[in-house]
A and B are shown apart, each in its own frame.
Chain A
Amino acid sequence: MAKPQLKQVSEYCWQIEPFGRMRVPGVIFADNILINDMDEKTLTQVCNVAALPGIVKASFAMPDAHMGYGFPIGGVAAFDPENGGVISGGGIGFDIACGVRTFHTGLSEEEIISVKEKLAESLFRDIPAGVGSTGNITLNTVQLDNMLAGGAAWAVEKGFGTKEDLDFIEEGGCAKGANPSKVSAQAKKRQQEQMGTLGSGNHYLEVQKVIDIYDTQIAEGFGLKKGDCLVSVHCGSRGLGHQIGTDYLKQMASQAASYGIDLPDRELASVPVNSPLGQDYLGAMRSGINCALANRQILTELVRRVFAKIFSTAQLNMLYDVSHNTAKMEEHKVDGKTKQLLIHRKGATRSFGPGSADLPPRYKSFGQPVLIGGSMGTSSYILAGTSESEALAFSSACHGAGRSMSRTAATKKWQGSQIVKELAERRIIIKSRSMRGLAEEAPDAYKNVSAVVEATANAGLAKKVAKLLPMICVKG
């Protein structure tokens, strides 16, 4: 494929006109620096997605976009099932419904600081994290199927959290249409002992403080003010999601050709949404979403128990839970017509604007909270979905900083112990079982999250509400 040519259409938006097999343009949201840093492989992936059947309007990339497999990470694409639209496992990724959940603590910075080391130790001890860790819950086959069908609602029924929590999770904490019978026995076996675990890599649990408020009215609506302390959890569907991804990638790659889909990249393996395999994958992938939601719900309860032991006044109420590796059927307007589209967001966050039916009543007039995780030791942000985001990119925004350097380069450049020391000097306690893991996740191995957030806000994809700084970080 020829080199994609970028044309600037506005200060924060670039376009690649369709060429070759592209059916629609590529649209990239970024500022001047971020666009220059995006490598050609990422742009080629944007173009490859634009070549998939049934794609609507454009193949989008968010400001944190970087090279993925098939889809770029930070990629958004809508497919029309009634017009041959496809579903692609690569457009969701192996870590199905990886996402961020943030909750309030009701505690002040001073209260946390007085017991910071003890709190960090307790979280590190009680929240299973890292490679090979297991949860305290082992599920049999029937229980696993119930969890896959019920999501966070299942976890609440089992005593993890409260019904009120569910109002603050996308789709009320349960992806409808999950079909656990389409999840392989291997995928289920991988999950048996992994409920309530954080995982590894870029997954984390952070205690954060609000250091800046950009929009007082929305912040108030979300229950946020400067100095508040929050907890954020970043993790996904664990072994189950990874195995679903593996199982269906293989099947889709071998069946794509039978539907006349000529794959520009094997990792883009896809089949029509309305094909038997497409429907099977939808049922399995939604089960994966529910697994991630149940997992984050269990982790929430584990965090609450840790806080309850240390603070008598802690109130860990939900702010929101949002997944950034998903495909969801959503209603969107295209050329004045309302259509049911399958929106793939691979490393991108949904950002519904004010008035959306999916929002809990408390947030209805403010827009959906968009939770942006920073890299270890850097800021995280809370944004709010905008009304214009729908027309721009099917109500989508960035998901995080996005890597700028490979893990191999990061371990050559930094040492874990040095990172712990540097963060300690900035009063951030970091807990990890692996020094090499820390080096791989070095803050400077990521793009500047603030620049990503600025570009997202300036492009109109979401509105800046609050900036958070970590106080304690437990690495997966």
Chain B
Amino acid sequence: MWEHFAHQADIGIRATAASLSSAFADAAVALTAIVTEPKKVEPLECVKIECDAEDEELLFVNWLNSIIYEMAVGKMLFSKFGVKIDPAPSDNSNLNIRRCGVENLKLFATIWGEKIDQTKHSPAVEPKAVTYNQLSVKEENGKWTVQCVIDV
């Protein structure tokens, strides 16, 4: 489940899901929705993404920035996202271990989409970068909510 939220100059994206990896995947759909309706984007080609970071918030930023990079370089739009986060944050003890700097969080993903077609997709605006503005990754009652503002 994802939504856009208002920022005076740009666009906020927010997603909620039962797992962190699903929330990341849903947020990526919200990123595409800044540009066009995700349902208009057919999953014809795939790209692999790998990134890591010391915490969930920075991993979220790196994940979205990796997608923005692939969109720009490949002139692509993406609509289907398979995300795996290692180690999966299944309980709080796990989170604490990582925050002590024992290990970096790693993300492996395969993302599907197609080349931008200005007629088919009528792209509205191009995401330039992920900002740290209103950035948060939270877990509450087994639900993960991730959000940030995208500079467009």
Query: Inside 8 A of A67's CB, which chain B residues have their CB?
Result: 7-9
| 8 Å CB interface, B122-152 against A | 122-126, 128-133, 135, 149, 151-152
CA distance A349 to B99 in the complex (A): 43
In the complex, chain B residues whose CB is within 8 Å of the CB of A407: 6, 10-11, 125, 152
Chain B residues within 8 Å of A200, by CB: 123-126, 152
Is A267 in contact with chain B by the CB < 8 A criterion? yes
A233 to chain B minimum Cβ distance, whole angstroms, is 17
- Closest chain B CB from A449 CB (angstroms): 16
**Would you call A88 an interface residue if the criterion is a C-beta within 8 Å of the partner chain's C-beta atoms?**
no
Q: Judge whether B95 is part of the interface by a CB distance below 8 angstroms.
A: no
**Chain B count of residues within 8 A CB distance of the other chain:** 37
The answer to whether A403 and B118 touch across the interface, beta carbons within 8 angstroms, is no
B125 adjacent to A435 (CB under 8 Å)? no
Of B69, B72, B124, B133, which one neighbours A69 at CB under 8 angstroms?
Answer: B133
Is A253 in contact with chain B by the CB < 8 A criterion?
yes
Minimal beta-carbon separation of A342 from chain B (angstroms): 22
Q: Does B19 belong to the interface (CB within 8 Å)?
A: no
With a CB–CB cut-off of 8 A, which chain B residues contact A94?
A: 128-129, 131, 151
Q: What residue in chain A is nearest B62 (Cβ atoms)?
A: A250
Q: Which of B5, B123, B129, B151 contacts A130 (CB 8 A)?
A: B123
Partner of B5, one of A73, A408, A435: A408
Q: Is the beta-carbon distance between B133 and A95 smaller than 8 angstroms? A: no
Bound state CA distance, A242 and B10, in angstroms?
Answer: 15
Smallest distance from the beta carbon of B115 to chain A beta carbons, Å? 8
Most buried by A among B6, B35, B129, B149: B129
Closest to B35 in A: A131
By the criterion CB–CB under 8 Å, are A130 and B118 in contact?
yes
Q: What is the CA–CA distance of A440 and B73 in the complex, to the nearest angstrom?
A: 25
Min Cβ gap B117→A in Å is: 8
Minimum CB distance partner of B11 in chain A: A407
Q: Are B11 and A201 in contact (CB-based, < 8 A)? A: no
A436 touches B122 (CB 8 A): yes
Bound Cα distance A239, B125 (Å): 13
Given A130-B123, A131-B125, A406-B7, A190 and B69 contact (CB-CB distance below 8 Å): yes
Contact B122 A434 (CB under 8 A): yes
Are B6 and A409 closer than 8 Å at their CB atoms? yes
The answer to whether A201 touches B126, judged by C-beta atoms less than 8 angstroms apart, is yes
- Whole-angstrom distance between the Cβ of B91 and the nearest chain A Cβ: 27
- A36: shortest Cβ distance to chain B, in Å? 15
* Cβ B129 vs Cβ A201 within 8 A: no
Given A239-B72, A246-B129, 9 other A-B contacts at CB below 8 A?
Answer: A94-B131, A131-B125, A132-B115, A200-B123, A266-B132, A266-B135, A267-B132, A408-B4, A436-B122
Q: Which 3 A-B pairs have the closest CB atoms?
A: A132-B116, A131-B123, A406-B6
List residues of chain B with CB under 8 Å of any chain A CB: 4-11, 35, 58, 61-62, 65, 68-69, 72-73, 75, 115-118, 122-126, 128-133, 135, 149, 151-152
* Sample of 30 A–B contacts (CB below 8 Å): A68-B9, A94-B129, A130-B123, A131-B118, A131-B126, A132-B75, A132-B116, A132-B118, A132-B123, A133-B118, A190-B72, A200-B124, A200-B126, A200-B152, A201-B126, A201-B152, A242-B151, A245-B129, A246-B65, A266-B135, A267-B131, A406-B8, A407-B6, A407-B125, A408-B6, A433-B122, A434-B123, A435-B122, A436-B122, A437-B124
